[in-house]
Structure 1
Amino acid sequence: MDILFYLATASLILFMLLATYDGFYLHIWKYRLFDREESLFEHKTHTVRAILFPLIVWLLFINETSFSFFLTGIALVVIDIIVLGIDAYHEKESRSFMGGLPKWEYIVHLFANAFHFSAIILVLALRLDISEGAMLFVDSIAVSQANTLFQFVSVNVIPGATILALLHFILMLKKPKNIWLNYRSKVTCC
């Protein structure tokens, strides 16, 4: 079982690194998707997914005892998958200003989503027990060094993920967007 915790931890860390690079540096800092008419819908789908992520982590990864929280987390994962599909469907139009999505960024998206959903699948493997044709919710997972590491990483991704979600949201509002653009214009690198 420890190997599942280590794999989930690695997947979560790799997802957060790629999501921060893609969601903050590329989408917000470099390409300013929130400030382009053709990319506004993409920014909105990213905002929804950014809001869902810390909730999914809290409900599925951290809260181990509540079956209702677990089901709510599963429902949010299903919504996340639907929003991902909608986002991917509209990606071509959203990036028309730059001649389409660059291949290397497409690869970043593939790996980020692979790590995102790998972490979720591994957590489901830890939280569900299938035996004798029945699926049971595991409400108590044995404490181990691997589980402790996973819980530590999960708890510590919540603040950064929440900040990124809030940033996505406030950049849809006119005044905060103008403040951001004003300060951003003063930075000449990157």
Structure 2
Amino acid sequence: MIDPTLTNAAAILLAAYAVLAAIDGLYIHLWRLRLHQRAETRCEHWLHTLRALLFPAFVGGLFAAPTAGALLWAAVGAAALDLVIGLWDVAIERDSRATLGGLSTAEYTVHVTLTMLHAASLALVLAARPASAWTLDGPMVLHTPMPGFSAALAINLVPGAIVLGILHVYLGLRGAQSANARVAA
């Protein structure tokens, strides 16, 4: 059985993460700084795009569905890849943001808080799974549903996350086209 206390605690942390990530991603990255439009921040934008595209996979696979076996491991793989891309993002941010004066203290604080919320929510939702869910030769879905709050939150986050992923791709491609047009002119 999936532990509802751990899963619901994970969902609360995920909700806080989603709100803060929306502020950071939509307002700071896309609107205020327009990272997708700057040549020096384009790589950073594409890392954010990859993370936006991975979010629905691991949120759906870990918070919405009672996954087990290979399906659980695929969702864990998506979450692990997201964490690796997040580290890559941190590694390039100093150079990426140099012409913008670097990251402000407020944005550093937001990023550290996001990392803590993200890691804690993943740790709790993974700990909530029974040991039997982790075997590769078992069923891909557990017979017990996810606790209601976790599932409801995830089901409501996934469509918006898909839209944000598409928006990131669109803006990244549009920013690249604008840069190419400026170079050609």
TM-score range, shorter chain: 0.7 to 0.9
Partners in 2 of 1:49 and 1:91 — Cα distance? 15
Q: CA RMSD in A?
A: 2.1
Q: What is the DSSP-based 3-state SS (H/G/I as helix, E as strand, rest coil) of the residue aligned with 1:101?
A: coil
- Which ranges in structure 1 are unaligned for 5 or more consecutive residues? 130-135, 179-190
Q: Any idea what the Cα deviations from partners look like across 1:40-86, whole Å, max 9, x if unmatched?
A: 01001000011001111112222214422111111112211211111
1:145-160 matches, within 5 Å, as 147-160=147-160
Aligned residues, how many?
170
Contact 2:8/2:150 (<8 A) preserved = yes
Partners in 2 of 1:112 and 1:126 — Cα distance? 21
Partners in 2 of 1:177 and 1:161 — Cα distance? 24
In percent, how many aligned pairs have the same letter? 32
One-letter identity of the residue aligned with 2:126: L
Q: Any idea what the Cα deviations from partners look like across 1:79-128, whole Å, max 9, x if unmatched?
A: 11211111100000111122111111011011112112211111101114
Greater relative contact order structure (CA < 8 Å, 6+ sep) = 2
Partner of residue 102, structure 2: 100
Indicate yes or no: 2:161 matched with 1:161.
Answer: yes
Partners in 1 of 2:48 and 2:143 — Cα distance? 32
Indicate yes or no: 2:55 matched with 1:47.
Answer: no
Question: How does the TM-score come out when normalised to structure 2?
Answer: 0.84
- Which ranges in structure 2 are unaligned for 5 or more consecutive residues? 135-140, 179-185
Give 2:17's match in structure 1, choosing from 15, 18, 30: 15
Partner of residue 31, structure 1: 33
Give 1:137's match in structure 2, choosing from 133, 151, 157: 133
Q: Any idea what the Cα deviations from partners look like across 1:142-169, whole Å, max 9, x if unmatched?
A: 568xx11111011100011111111111
Question: How does the TM-score come out when normalised to structure 1?
Answer: 0.82
